[in-house]
Copies of this chain bind each other. A is one copy, B any other.
Amino acid sequence: MKKIIEDDFMQRVKSILKTSHFSLGIGDIADATGVSQRQLRYWEKKGYIKPSTGTEEGKHRKYSYFTLAKVSLIQSFIETGFTLNAAVTKADEHREVANALKQLVINRLSSVETLDNGFKFNLGPIEGLPGKDLIATIHTGQDTTFTLENQPS
């Protein structure tokens, strides 16, 4: 009942994760974060955020996913009572977290199996435990567990 997803598929997924540089419009950012378009343009003018596609030629602004994350963080701090400037400072301290998470997945994901109600991800070896692979098991709607399995010989 389980099915090992072929390496070919994993290559495609990794390639997509690495190369897919998608962008969002200002309305998409506003809807997702609750920050108004007026605020986003003002924050840009102050240098707090910047669109990936310049608006030099009078075109619509485009934002990266990391800008979305940053806007969400800033908004989160503002709601807590920080001033805009203080919220930006706090958000900037950790702006690379989302990027690092993405890198984690790209670097280590080596294979996937489908289960009846979830997935098994093979994340490769752990330092100091030769011959073992780290396995993350996800069951839909439940928690994720990590286990160790002997590497296929």
In A39-64, the 8 Å CB interface with B consists of 62
Instruction: Determine if A5 and B94 form an interchain contact, defined as CB atoms under 8 angstroms apart.
Output: yes
With A94-B9, A129-B148, A146-B126 as contacts: A20 and B68 at CB distance below 8 Å: yes
Asked if A127 is at the interface (CB within 8 A of a chain B CB), the reply is yes
Asked if A104 is at the interface (CB within 8 A of a chain B CB), the reply is yes
Q: Is the interface of A mostly helix, strand, loop or mixed?
A: mixed
Please give the count of copies of this chain that the complex contains. 2
Question: Closest CB-CB distance, A56 to chain B, in whole Å?
Answer: 18
- How many chain A residues sit at the interface, stated as a range, is 35 or more
- Give the chain B neighbours of A129 by CB distance below 8 A: 148
15 additional A-B pairs beyond A22-B24, A23-B28, A125-B146, beta carbons within 8 Å, are A12-B76, A12-B77, A13-B73, A13-B97, A16-B76, A20-B33, A20-B69, A23-B31, A24-B25, A94-B114, A97-B112, A104-B138, A104-B144, A127-B146, A134-B134
